[in-house]
Amino acid sequence: MSIISENIKHFKSLLPDKVLLIAVSKTQPIEAIEEAYHSGQRDFGENKVQEMLPKYEQLKHLDINWHLIGHLQTNKVKYIVPFVKLIHSVDSLKLLQEINKQSLKHNKITDCLLQFHIAEEDTKFGLDYSEAVQILNSEEYKAMQSVRICGVMGMATFTEDMEQVRREFRSLKQIFDNLKENFFKTNSGFKEISMGMSGDWQIAVEEGSTMLRIGTSIFGERNYNK
Ligand X SMILES: *Cc1c(COP(=O)(O)O)cnc(C)c1O
Shortest Å distance, C-beta 88 to ligand X: 7
Q: Is 198 in the site for ligand X (CB under 6 A)?
A: yes
Q: Establish if 87 lies at the interface with ligand X (CB under 6 A).
A: no
Interface stretch with ligand X, choices 2-10, 90-98, 166-174, 191-199 (CB under 6 A): 191-199
Spatial distance between the Cα atoms of 175 and 118, rounded to a whole number of angstroms:
10
Question: Which 131-170 positions form the footprint of ligand X (CB under 6 A)?
Answer: 155
Q: Interacting stretch for ligand X, rule CB under 6 A, among 3-11, 54-62, 95-103, 209-217?
A: 209-217
**How near is the Cβ of 199 to ligand X at its closest, in Å?**
6
Q: Does 69 bind ligand X (CB under 6 A)?
A: yes
**Whose CA is closest to 210, among 182, 172, 160, 165?**
172
What span, in angstroms and rounded, lies between the C-alpha atoms of 72 and 29?
A: 22
Q: Please identify, among the stretches 59-67, 72-80, 123-131, 207-215, the one whose residues bind ligand X according to the rule CB under 6 A.
A: 207-215
x/- string (CB under 6 A) for ligand X, residues 28-67?
Answer: -------------------x--------------------
Minimum gap (Å) between residue 48 Cβ and ligand X: 9
DSSP SS3 for 199: coil
Closer to ligand X by CB, 89 or 110: give it.
89
Residues 22, 44: contact at Cβ < 8 Å? yes
Q: CA–CA separation, 52 vs 125, rounded Å?
A: 20
Residue 89 exposed, middle or buried by CB count within 10 Å (0-12, 13-18, 19+): buried
Contacts of 93 (CB under 8 A, 6+ apart): 134, 135, 138, 140, 141
Instruction: Point out which residues bind ligand X (CB under 6 A).
Output: 24, 26, 47, 69-70, 155, 197-199, 213-217
